[in-house]
Homo-oligomer: A and B are copies of this chain.
């Protein structure tokens, strides 16, 4: 089987996650088991490193360092977020041919799966025998064709604990309203998963808004006022990508835009807290943990890390089995208990769509989520323990 002999390259694309290095470790350890892979190079900063011939020789690191790196967030190789031109693809393939690269593992989100797909197609067109396998990675959990993506569980764990801890802080001491801004861009998976923090009827978050549904200022204010009247406090979880009824971001003010023209680091939570303070005369503050939600070692979910490593290993195994043009997926097996196995999906079927939160998981009133998110996300994020109280 296999038999294609040559160098392998692993690259990271897009925003790092808390477990992207675990997938890297999976690729490294599995590559070492297959003599067909004569060397493993890590591209520095994704496609930029491939184009610029900037690689780390991953053969030279001892297993102990690989294990240490597997346990920490951020991308040990460096990543990139850039528009990839057809010329870039040509240059990358040219470099691959010169280096005798025969295996390419691309670990990222939708943009990266598009790059991987173009590399595979380009190689095929020029008759160059290259096997390209994508490895899923996104905290937003918006990759299609997979039950979920590595990175999501740890980010969900971070934000659920943030909601819990800020909720108890909020119960201790006014101001009575806190707006927690959650990562996720257009996808509500992460903000929905803050519901994992709820154990008691009055636990935070009290209001959860998913960006799949637009939100008017009037509704937000009425919701906050109703919770405040009932509990004397309110923790609102809102996604950074939430839009108002005109399809705009509530006047939030991005610092700048990224290479795709998407807003970077706006201040939606701040704007909503000001709106609540001004209109309801109820003091509010905002919290925006921001990139800590994807880079915080303390909240790595054990299941997420293990699955990230599994996906890395599965990518190498698939390539050795002659697969190409595919992304590794995670398939949830029927219960009892949570079990997954890896599968494969065509790269083109992944990058051409975006997996949003199912509309029926948003509660009818639009201010919360149904129990479905709990069943889905709890095994991935791990247990969010209740905050003990004296009362």
Closest to A282 in B: B256
A178 closest partner in B (C-beta): B291
A56-B390, A298-B298, A391-B56 known; A74 vs B172 contact (CB < 8 Å): yes
Do A16 and B390 touch across chains, with their CB atoms under 8 A apart? no
A359 within 8 A of B: no
Is the pair A296, B165 in contact by a Cβ cutoff of 8 Å? yes
A137 to B273, CA, bound (A): 28
Partner of A168, one of B72, B77, B253, B288: B72
Across the interface, name the chain B residue whose C-beta is closest to A281: B256
Q: With an 8 A cutoff between CB atoms, is A333 at the interface?
A: no
A118 interfacial contact with B, CB 8 Å: no
A273 to B337, CA, bound (A): 46
Q: In the bound complex, do residue A283 and residue B256 qualify as a contact, i.e. CB atoms below 8 Å apart?
A: yes
Say whether B256 contacts A284, CB under 8 Å. yes
Rounded to whole angstroms, the CA-CA distance of A169 and B289 in the bound complex is 14
CA distance A387 to B390 in the complex (A): 38
- A368 to chain B minimum Cβ distance, whole angstroms, is 23
A298 — nearest CB in chain B belongs to which residue?
Answer: B298
A15–B173 alpha-carbon span in the complex (Å): 7
Residues of B within 8 A of A173 (CB): 14-16, 45, 75, 78-81
The residues of B that contact A270 with a CB separation of less than 8 Å are 253, 255, 265, 267, 270
Q: Is A65 an interface residue (CB 8 A)?
A: yes
C-alpha spacing A390/B20, complex, angstroms: 14
Question: Closest CB of chain B to A260's CB: distance in Å?
Answer: 12
Copy number in this complex? 2
* Contact (A290, B285) CB under 8 Å given A79-B173, A169-B16, A387-B74: yes
A209 at the binding interface (Cβ < 8 Å): no
Given known pairs A162-B292, A255-B277, A287-B291, the reply for A58 and B390 (CB within 8 Å) is: yes
Q: Which of A256, A297, A298 has the most CB of B within 10 A?
A: A256
Tell which of B72, B74, B390 touches A42, judged by Cβ atoms closer than 8 Å: B390
**A68 interface residue, CB < 8 Å from B?**
yes
Selected contact of A388 from candidates B12, B68, B265, CB within 8 Å: B68
Q: Is the CB of B298 within 8 A of A161?
A: yes
Shortest CB distance A221–B (Å): 15
Distance of A380 from chain B, by nearest CB (Å): 18
CB <8 Å contact, B298 and A292: no
> Which residues of A pack against B, CB within 8 Å?
12, 14-16, 42, 45, 56, 58, 61, 65, 68-69, 72-81, 161-162, 165-166, 168-169, 171-175, 178, 253, 255-256, 258, 264-265, 267, 270, 273-274, 277, 283-292, 294-299, 387-391
**Closest 10 A-B residue pairs measured CB to CB?**
A265-B285, A298-B298, A74-B168, A75-B172, A68-B388, A169-B295, A287-B290, A165-B295, A79-B173, A255-B273
Residue pairs across A and B with Cβ atoms less than 8 A apart, 10 shown, are: A15-B173, A42-B390, A78-B172, A79-B173, A165-B297, A175-B264, A253-B274, A255-B274, A287-B288, A287-B292
Instruction: Given contact pairs A73-B168, A255-B270, A289-B289, enumerate 13 new A-B contacts (beta carbons under 8 Å).
Output: A16-B172, A61-B390, A72-B388, A73-B165, A74-B169, A74-B171, A80-B173, A161-B297, A255-B273, A264-B285, A267-B267, A270-B270, A287-B292
